[in-house]
């Protein structure tokens, strides 16, 4: 294994995903490619409608880039494979980027809703079902112990 794509969503669980990815990368000598995929939210403030579409996307991209840049600083230099931002449906953006970057593994966090979604989360479930490579879903450690 040489390259791992790590999907981070800026949720409280994202740190656990990054920690698990760092552990795996250290053990396998893999490089981590961090990605923050952001979708245009369904409910956005009224002021956002006054922005041209390119400005709204630019704002989302800028905020995501700040986040992913901070997360990349947590990765030792020798394990860094890059930090990327994608705007679009998160599961699709992650699958597309995994293919474009030719990664060996995708790592994402779980959330927990209903059915398969209850087990691993909506975005994670779609990645598992649509990715053309292996996916490792990181469960919430706190939830597993309670």
- H/E element, 80: strand 80-87
Model pLDDT, residue 100: 98
Q: Which residue is listed with tokens 């053990």?
A: 27
Q: Which residues of 117-130 are buried (b: 16+ CB within 10 A; e: fewer)?
A: bebbbbbbbbbbee
Two tokens, residue 101: 């970057």
Model pLDDT, residue 139: 86
Model pLDDT, residue 113: 46
Q: Which residues contact 48 (CB under 8 A, 6 or more apart)?
A: 56
E strands present in 61-138: 80-87, 105-109, 134-138
Q: Where are the domains of the chain?
A: 34-84, 89-102+122-146
Two tokens, residue 145: 């112990």
- Residue 105 near residue 1, CB atoms below 8 Å: yes
Cα separation, 22 vs 65, in Å, equals: 20
Dihedral sign computed on CA atoms, order 70, 75, 76, 77: negative
Model pLDDT, residue 41: 67
- H/E element, 109: strand 105-109
Cα separation, 18 vs 141, in Å, equals: 13
Q: Which of 144, 136, 99 is nearest to 23 (CA)?
A: 136
User: Structure pTM?
Assistant: 0.84
Enumerate residue ranges in the chain where pLDDT < 70. 41-49, 51, 53-54, 112-121, 141-146
């Amino acid at each position: 294994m040489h390259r791992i794509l790590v999907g981070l969503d800026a949720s409280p669980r994202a740190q656990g995903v990054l920690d698990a990815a760092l552990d795996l990368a250290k053990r396998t000598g893999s490089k981590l490619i961090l990605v923050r995929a952001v979708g245009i939210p369904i409910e956005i403030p009224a002021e956002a409608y006054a922005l041209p579409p390119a400005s709204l996307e630019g704002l989302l991209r800028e905020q995501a880039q700040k986040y992913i840049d901070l997360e990349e600083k947590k990765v030792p230099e020798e394990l860094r494979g890059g930090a990327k931002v994608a705007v679009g449906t998160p599961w699709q953006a992650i699958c597309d980027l995994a293919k474009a970057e030719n990664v060996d593994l995708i790592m994402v966090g779980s959330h927990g809703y209903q059915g398969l979604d209850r087990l691993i989360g909506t975005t994670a479930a779609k990645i598992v079902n649509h990715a053309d490579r292996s996916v490792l879903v990181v469960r919430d450690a706190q939830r597993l112990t309670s």
